């Protein structure tokens, strides 16, 4: 396995992979030529009930596209804010199918700046997207977008009518969750999908050992520690991206967080080793807030299960959230766990 192939495996905790495995699509991604203009003209055709909006990012001129969907069935019981993972594919081609099981939830699905919504599934991220894609940039822009969304929504939601909200991070998107939670009013719980909860560097080291690619991992370590500029490309990512990855803190903020945390993962995940999931589970015993862990036997990174015929673990997860929503005051983990 070449270095670039290894890194792709290590870092493929992505929106693309989750969408592909859940929706049965070919892996691909597409980005915009700039970080502005999140709403294309003309607006692409949207699935029934869905709408496309734009929210401001952290810097002037930066715009994030967001997909919105009302509840599919009355009554509306809760809201879900979705933080996608790495990659630059937009959710438009698969959103309706991917979130079909969230029947009584209003949805807000963020996109990274530079994602060209409506472009379909293509081959590569744009140069502009790659140059601006880091965890800290994604965090700052997502926070700004959520704050703007909250400001716009305040006249529509009185304190007495506030529905409980779940903040969902998919794959790499889970690495932003502790940094975004404070910007989600009425937060009832946080959900990590196919993300171990360890610091990215620690999870990557475990995957390198699993694949027998320790020399490749050491090459990445040397590259991010070098004096080269942040915009230098190394195996398809900038060194700025890898430096963020290397120093990002996730495990401790998750352990200290005051909200219930649900983690859902498959033990046939080819992108994250089981030992990474197990290690965070051991560390999470120190959490004062509830931690509920759902391990799906035979499920892959997209929570798909091929044993005994194809089964969709993702839709099973949404069904568990629907169970909680029917009696949300009774406790998050108590209702979600089967």
* DSSP states of 73-109: SSSP-EEEEEE--BS---STTTHHHHTTT-TTEEEEE
185, 205 Cβ separation under 8 angstroms: no
> Tens of pLDDT along 250-284?
999 999 999 999 999 999 999 999 999 999 999 99
Q: What local confidence, expressed as pLDDT, does residue 9 receive?
A: 44
Tell me: pLDDT of 138 over 50. yes
Q: What is the structure's pLDDT at 110?
A: 97
Domains defined for the chain, CATH in brackets: 3-336 (3.40.50.1820)
**Which pLDDT tens digit goes with each residue over 159-215?**
556 899 999 999 999 999 999 999 999 999 999 999 999 999 999 999 999 999 999
Q: Is residue 116 very low, low, confident or very high in pLDDT (cuts 50, 70, 90)? A: confident
Helix (H, G, I), strand (E, B) or coil at 328: helix
When pLDDT is averaged across residues 79-105 and rounded to a whole number, the result is 93
Portion of the chain with pLDDT greater than 90, in percent: 74
User: Distance (Å, rounded) from C-alpha 3 to C-alpha 23?
Assistant: 29
Question: What was the pLDDT predicted at 28?
Answer: 31
Mean of per-residue pLDDT scores for the chain: 87
67/87 Cα distance (integer angstroms): 17
Among 99-103, 151-155, 327-331, where is mean pLDDT lowest? 151-155
For position 4, what pLDDT does the model report?
41
Q: How confident is the model at residue 126 (pLDDT cuts 50, 70, 90)?
A: confident
Are the beta carbons of 228 and 275 closer than 8 angstroms? no
Three-class SS state of 146: helix
């Amino acid at each position: 396995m070449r270095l670039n192939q290894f890194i792709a495996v290590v870092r493929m905790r992505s929106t693309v992979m989750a969408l592909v495995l859940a929706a049965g699509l070919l892996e691909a991604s597409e980005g915009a030529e700039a970080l502005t203009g999140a709403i294309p003209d003309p607006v692409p055709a949207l699935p029934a009930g869905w709408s496309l909006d734009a929210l401001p990012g952290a810097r002037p001129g930066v715009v994030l596209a967001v997909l919105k969907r009302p509840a599919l069935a009355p009554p509306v019981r809760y809201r879900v804010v979705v933080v996608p993972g790495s990659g630059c594919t937009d959710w438009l081609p698969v959103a309706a199918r991917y979130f079909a099981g969230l029947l009584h939830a209003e949805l807000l699905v963020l996109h990274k700046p530079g994602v060209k919504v409506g472009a379909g599934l293509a081959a590569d991220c744009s140069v502009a997207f790659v140059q601006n894609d880091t965890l800290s940039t994604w965090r700052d822009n997502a926070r700004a977008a959520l704050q703007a969304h909250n400001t716009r929504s305040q006249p529509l939601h009185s304190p007495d009518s506030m529905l409980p909200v779940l903040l969902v991070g998919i794959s790499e998107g889970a690495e932003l969750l502790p940094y975004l939670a404070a910007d989600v009013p009425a937060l009832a719980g946080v959900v990590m999908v196919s993300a171990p909860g360890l610091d990215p560097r620690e999870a990557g080291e475990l995957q390198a050992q699993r694949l027998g690619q320790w020399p490749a991992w050491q090459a990445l370590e040397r590259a991010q520690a070098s004096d080269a500029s942040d915009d230098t490309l190394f195996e398809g990512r900038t060194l700025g991206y890898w430096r963020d990855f290397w120093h990002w803190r996730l495990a401790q903020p998750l352990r200290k967080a005051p909200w219930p945390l649900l983690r859902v993962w498959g033990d046939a995940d080819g992108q994250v080793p089981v030992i990474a999931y197990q290690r965070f589970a051991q560390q999470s015993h120190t959490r004062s807030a509830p931690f509920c862990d759902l391990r799906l036997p035979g499920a892959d990174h997209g929570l798909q299960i091929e044993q005994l015929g194809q089964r969709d673990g993702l839709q099973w997860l949404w069904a568990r959230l629907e169970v909680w929503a029917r009696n949300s005051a009774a406790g998050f983990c108590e209702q979600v766990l089967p």
